Amino acid sequence: MAAEAKRRELGRFLAASEGYHVLTSEGYDVGLVDHVRYERHSDHPDEIVIRRRNVLRKSRRVIPFAAVTSV
């Protein structure tokens, strides 16, 4: 039950995280939260879309919610 409560809490925080920096567990900046996608679950997002800005182009990367460890 504790894992389910943590998942709901992470989902709640992610819902309001647009524009926040995304870091790897080692502390490297991978971009900004562009938006979260809810498709199968209502208590937490299925995916987080990260945007990166490069001098030459913009790119997006999709990360599964299961890869999120903290917000």
Closest CA to 68 of 20, 22, 1: 22
Q: Give the residue with greater pLDDT, 33 vs 10.
A: 33
Q: What is the pLDDT of residue 1?
A: 58
Q: What is the pLDDT of residues 12-28, one digit of tens each?
A: 887 788 888 888 888 88
- Alpha-carbon distance of 57 to 21, in angstroms, equals 18
Q: What is the pTM of this model?
A: 0.73
- Alpha-carbon distance of 39 to 47, in angstroms, equals 9
Q: What is the pLDDT of residues 17-59, one digit of tens each?
A: 888 888 888 888 888 999 888 888 777 778 889 998 776 777 8
Q: Give the residue with greater pLDDT, 3 vs 50.
A: 50
Q: SS in 3 state form for the chain?
A: CHHHHHHHHHHHHHHCCCCCEEECCCCCEEEEEEEEECCCCCCCCCEEEEEEECCCCEEEEEEEHHHCCCC
